[in-house]
């Protein structure tokens, strides 16, 4: 599926259970950070730099690895053009919102470049009602600045693409505690594609993501009427780098791809409180290999796709250090290795030009994040997160879907899909009782102590129907309806996450008008 950039919020996830299990790529490079396991698309790259968005629905770990159980979003960025071109835009809206963007590009037969920059400011709103919104609370503010540079260099028959993206997010939230926070990203990517003879194509992608989050937290003092009471200063640097190597070939009607996906990640978390420091650090290394084959049969009416991927990873160098109490706490977490074997098979049968049947089967997995493994400390003013170094990977033991695509005429498209999945060792959250919290941790009074845990078995099934009608080349309407059931088949403990599953709506309706 391919959607334009204006449809970034298009619903592609059948259930909230899937929503945190989607892998986001930029030009084929994974953006999900090992620190937290997810990614904020709007705060990770410039919208001005997006050409289109490709979507792979359903379990995709066989090709993409961890976190791809619910699907894959691949954001394709704009490439330089040989013709001199540029653009300037400005938008304004409510809540003191304004957005400005500018871009320019040019090139020759041998090289091309593109540069863009943008800034977005938005104010917030009073998100508590009546007397719950205190006089000293302030509406949140957010500023997002981005700069993107890209270049293409043709080296004979090969192409080298180089990209750099800088983002700075400055946010200020003020209630009983004021948080003045900055998020800085420096992303570097290189992509080299070269033909190897007449049958093989080699692609090598390398990347380095340098991210740092800082925050100054100050509590409100009724004596001074200001947020001047020191709470903490924090700095969380995160680094990820990796390489993807892939060889593609067509041989005897088969389109074969094989390759390796390598990734190394590390993070540090440093919190300086008035009482002392609370720090943690950890690393996660991934080594993966995959192969995928697509071929046609029955006079090209039947297309088959089979693939498998092997992932091996190690969580290591986990350390925790705390001097906020009378007794210094130091923990060296044990290293831990895991692996996953992810097969996939799919088939599509073209009955005629207007009707196609399809089915697929796959497995998947999600590795625990460095945050869940090693972080212990306050998360906001009402929550205390407790590390769990014993977390296992969540696995999708099986998943399948069957359906059809129909296009009765050039205006109307209809898609119907039935799907079912089973998960084991679900990653969720448990609220701990006081006797479950180690004595050397001292959460503030009123804080809920939350720990990520492996839960029991969860089954999900449902039916999804989508209809799109194109009035002309510019106007179209899209309607999507999903009936989804998420059930808890077995679990050793009752946790907050299961309540969220039980409260999920069974019926979801999305309607969109495109221009």
| Alpha carbon distance 426, 449 (integer Å) | 19
382: its two tokens = 């009402």
Look at residue 151 and tell me if it is in a domain.
yes
| Alpha carbon distance 212, 234 (integer Å) | 10
Look at residue 264 and tell me if it is in a domain.
yes
| Res 492: pLDDT | 57
3-state SS of 289-325 is EEEEEEEEECCCCEEEEEEEEEEEEEEEEEEEEECCC
| Res 11: pLDDT | 39
3-state secondary structure of 80: coil
- Give the full edge-to-edge strand order of the sheet including 50-57: 2-3, 50-57, 71-77, 22-26, 29-30
Number of domain units in the chain: 1
Q: Going by DSSP bridges, is the β-strand pair 226-251/254-273 parallel, antiparallel, or unpaired?
A: antiparallel
With beta carbons less than 8 A apart as the criterion, state whether 56 and 71 touch.
yes
Give, for all 515 residues of the chain, the pLDDT tens digit: 443 333 333 334 555 455 568 899 999 999 888 998 877 655 556 677 788 889 888 888 999 999 898 889 999 988 888 889 888 999 998 888 999 999 999 999 899 999 999 999 998 888 888 888 988 999 999 999 999 999 999 998 999 999 999 999 999 999 989 999 999 999 999 999 999 988 999 999 999 999 999 999 999 999 999 999 999 999 999 999 999 999 999 988 899 999 999 999 999 999 999 999 999 999 999 999 999 999 999 888 999 999 999 999 999 999 999 998 888 999 999 999 999 999 999 999 999 999 999 999 999 999 999 999 999 888 877 899 999 999 999 999 999 999 999 999 999 999 999 999 999 998 888 889 888 898 888 888 888 999 999 888 888 899 999 999 999 888 999 999 999 888 777 665 555 555 555 556 788 888 988 87
| Alpha carbon distance 337, 285 (integer Å) | 9
3-state SS of 214-246 is EEEEEEEECCCCEEEEEEEEEEEEEEEEEEEEE
| Alpha carbon distance 425, 417 (integer Å) | 26
Taking residue 351's Cβ as centre, other Cβ atoms within 10 Å add up to 11
Angle (nearest 5°) at CA 283 between 70 and 67: 5
Query: Could you tell me which residues come within 8 angstroms of residue 281 by beta carbon, excluding any fewer than 6 positions away?
Result: 266, 267, 268, 269, 317, 318, 319, 374
Q: Going by DSSP bridges, is the β-strand pair 336-352/355-366 parallel, antiparallel, or unpaired?
A: antiparallel
| Alpha carbon distance 454, 365 (integer Å) | 13
The distance between the two most distant Cα atoms of the chain, rounded to a whole number of Å, is 82
Look at residue 503 and tell me if it is in a domain.
yes
**Placement of tokens 């007794």 in the chain:** 327
3-state SS of 171-192 is EEEECCEEEEEEEEEEEEEEEE
| Alpha carbon distance 183, 255 (integer Å) | 42
Classify residue 140 as left (phi > 0), alpha (psi -120 to 50) or beta.
beta
With beta carbons less than 8 A apart as the criterion, state whether 185 and 166 touch.
yes
What is the torsional sign of CA 283, 396, 463, 76? positive
Look at residue 100 and tell me if it is in a domain.
no
Q: Going by DSSP bridges, is the β-strand pair 177-196/158-174 parallel, antiparallel, or unpaired?
A: antiparallel
Look at residue 124 and tell me if it is in a domain.
no
Minimal CA–CA distance to 234: which of 305, 180, 188, 308? 180
Query: Could you tell me which residues come within 8 angstroms of residue 100 by beta carbon, excluding any fewer than 6 positions away?
Result: 89, 90, 91, 118, 119, 120
Looking up residue 370, the CATH number of its domain turns out to be: 2.40.170.20
| Alpha carbon distance 48, 55 (integer Å) | 19
**Placement of tokens 């890209």 in the chain:** 150
| Res 8: pLDDT | 36
3-state secondary structure of 49: helix
Look at residue 470 and tell me if it is in a domain.
yes
Q: Exposure string (b/e) for 488-503, b if CB count within 10 Å is 16 or more? A: beebeeebebbeebee
What is the torsional sign of CA 188, 35, 219, 329? negative
| Alpha carbon distance 129, 132 (integer Å) | 6
422: its two tokens = 């089973």
Look at residue 441 and tell me if it is in a domain.
yes
Look at residue 272 and tell me if it is in a domain.
yes
Taking residue 402's Cβ as centre, other Cβ atoms within 10 Å add up to 15
Range of the domain at 275: 140-514
Query: Could you tell me which residues come within 8 angstroms of residue 296 by beta carbon, excluding any fewer than 6 positions away?
Result: 253, 302, 303, 304
| Res 500: pLDDT | 53
| Alpha carbon distance 11, 480 (integer Å) | 8
């Amino acid at each position: 599926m391919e959607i334009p950039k204006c449809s970034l919020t298009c619903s592609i996830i059948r259930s909230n259970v899937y929503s945190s299990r989607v892998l986001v790529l930029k030009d084929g490079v994974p953006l999900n950070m090992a620190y937290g396991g997810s990614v904020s698309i709007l705060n990770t790259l410039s919208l001005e730099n997006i050409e289109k968005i490709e979507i792979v629905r359903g379990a995709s770990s066989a090709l993409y690895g961890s976190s791809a159980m619910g699907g894959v979003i691949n954001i394709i960025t704009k490439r330089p053009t040989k013709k001199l071109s540029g653009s300037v835009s400005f938008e304004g809206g409510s809540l003191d919102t304004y957005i400005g963007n500018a871009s320019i590009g040019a090139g020759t037969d041998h090289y091309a470049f593109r540069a863009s920059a943008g800034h977005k400011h938005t104010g917030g709103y009073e998100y508590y009602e009546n007397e719950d919104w205190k006089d000293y609370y302030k509406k949140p503010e957010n500023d997002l600045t981005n700069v993107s540079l890209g270049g293409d260099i043709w080296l004979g028959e090969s192409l080298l693409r180089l990209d750099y993206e800088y983002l700075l997010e400055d946010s200020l939230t003020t209630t009983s505690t004021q948080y003045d926070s900055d998020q800085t990203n420096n992303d570097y990517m290189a992509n080299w594609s070269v033909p190897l003879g007449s049958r093989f194509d080699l692609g090598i992608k390398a990347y380095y993501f340098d991210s740092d989050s800082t925050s100054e937290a100050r509590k409100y003092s009724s004596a001074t009427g200001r947020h001047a009471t020191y709470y903490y200063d924090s700095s969380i640097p995160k680094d990820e780098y990796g390489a993807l190597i892939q060889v593609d070939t067509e041989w005897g009607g088969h389109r074969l791809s094989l390759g390796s996906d390598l990734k190394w990640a590390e993070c540090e978390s440093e919190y300086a409180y008035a009482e002392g420091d609370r720090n943690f650090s950890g690393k996660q290394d991934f080594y993966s290999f995959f192969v995928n084959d697509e071929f046609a049969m029955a006079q090209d009416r039947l297309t088959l796709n089979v693939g498998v991927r092997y992932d091996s990873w190690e969580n290591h160098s986990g350390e925790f250090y705390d001097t906020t109490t009378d007794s210094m706490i130091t923990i060296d977490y044990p290293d831990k290795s895991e692996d996953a074997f992810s097969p996939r098979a799919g088939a599509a049968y073209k009955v005629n030009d207007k009707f196609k049947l399809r089915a697929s089967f796959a497995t998947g997995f999600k590795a625990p994040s460095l945050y869940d493994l090693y972080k212990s400390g306050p998360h906001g003013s009402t929550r205390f997160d407790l590390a769990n170094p014993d977390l296992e990977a969540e696995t999708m033991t099986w998943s399948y879907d069957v359906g059809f695509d129909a296009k009765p005429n050039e205006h109307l498209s209809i898609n119907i899909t039935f799907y079912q999945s089973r998960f084991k060792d679900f990653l969720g959250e448990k609220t701990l009782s006081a006797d479950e919290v180690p004595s050397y941790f001292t959460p503030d009074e009123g804080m809920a102590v939350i720990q990520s845990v492996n839960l029991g078995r969860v089954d999900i099934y449902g039916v999804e129907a989508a209809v799109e009608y194109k009035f002309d080349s510019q106007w179209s309407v899209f309607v999507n309806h999903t009936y989804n059931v998420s059930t808890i088949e077995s679990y050793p403990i009752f946790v907050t996450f299961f309540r969220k599953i039980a409260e999920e709506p069974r019926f979801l309706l999305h309607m969109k008008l495109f221009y």
